[in-house]
Chains A and B, each alone.
Chain A
């Protein structure tokens, strides 16, 4: 016999299995059912959750832009303009404010958003006058801005 004492007979496969299991289970604690307690079910669920989280980081940017656009559209309709007209006229006046800031302005700074909407409306009227008029009227103030690109 090689193993002569009790302490040599015990097959301990390493002291840190508990910690390795807990590392996985701590990510599964808010799940429903046995997947928040039992390791073999939790491992599969945690892997799937991490895959969803990775895919969602790209989708979040998509979703946030869609939300900003719908908020800006709602706010511009309050001021009598539609979203495509607002954005096109802000681009024509070289106002490079992005949709995130526009939606924040619409919520917390309504007067600043109103002034931007009024600027876009004025530029739009000038565009109509330039297109429909016969060229005898002077070019408008807002369309004198040269685009940078």
Chain B
């Protein structure tokens, strides 16, 4: 059984790392769960809610996130200005057009614990709509995280040999008219 005096002192245990996530063609919810886990520090075995062990997370290409299904038209973000008649409802597509960072920001905000640390953790989240990052953030980055979703290839990205080698279920007759 190790004792505190005999185990080696690891100096960088409580250091704050900077993670980079590329959100191109990724679902924003999965990006947001990865962000919230690292902002709270729950990926570390030394986690404690009071010990301020969260890391910084930089998300780039937030303009190119990909909702699945019809969520661009059906998902509604509601807010109220506080004045009468000020209930506003915006679809995800409209909100994304107005502010490309808002969808991921709101998703991460909702996934963090509802306490006073939430605002501090949101300040450690850095969102960029494109892959242009400022120099001071580029210098701080320590690790890039793998993307949660495997991006499927488009038909135009397959070579002619691969297309020919793909098995066909049936061969159409000569006079078959394809639309």
Contacts and interface: CB of A to CB of B under 8 A. Distances in A.
Interface of A: 67, 70-72, 74-75, 77-78, 103, 106-109
A136 to B, nearest CB: 30
B112 to A, nearest CB: 15
18 contacts: A67-B48, A70-B42, A71-B45, A71-B46, A72-B45, A74-B42, A74-B44, A74-B45, A74-B47, A77-B43, A78-B43, A78-B45, A103-B45, A106-B45, A107-B45, A107-B46, A108-B7, A109-B2
Contacts of A71: 45-47
Chain B at the A interface: mostly helix, strand, loop or mixed? loop
Contacts of B45: 71-72, 74-75, 78, 103, 106-107
Interface residues of B, number: 9
A103 B46 CA distance: 9
Q: Report which residue of B2, B42, B45, B46 has the largest number of chain A beta carbons within 10 angstroms of its beta carbon.
A: B45
Contacts of A77: 43
Contacts of B2: 108-109
A67 B50 CA distance: 12
A28 B11 CA distance: 39
Interface string B31-58: 0000000000011111110000000000
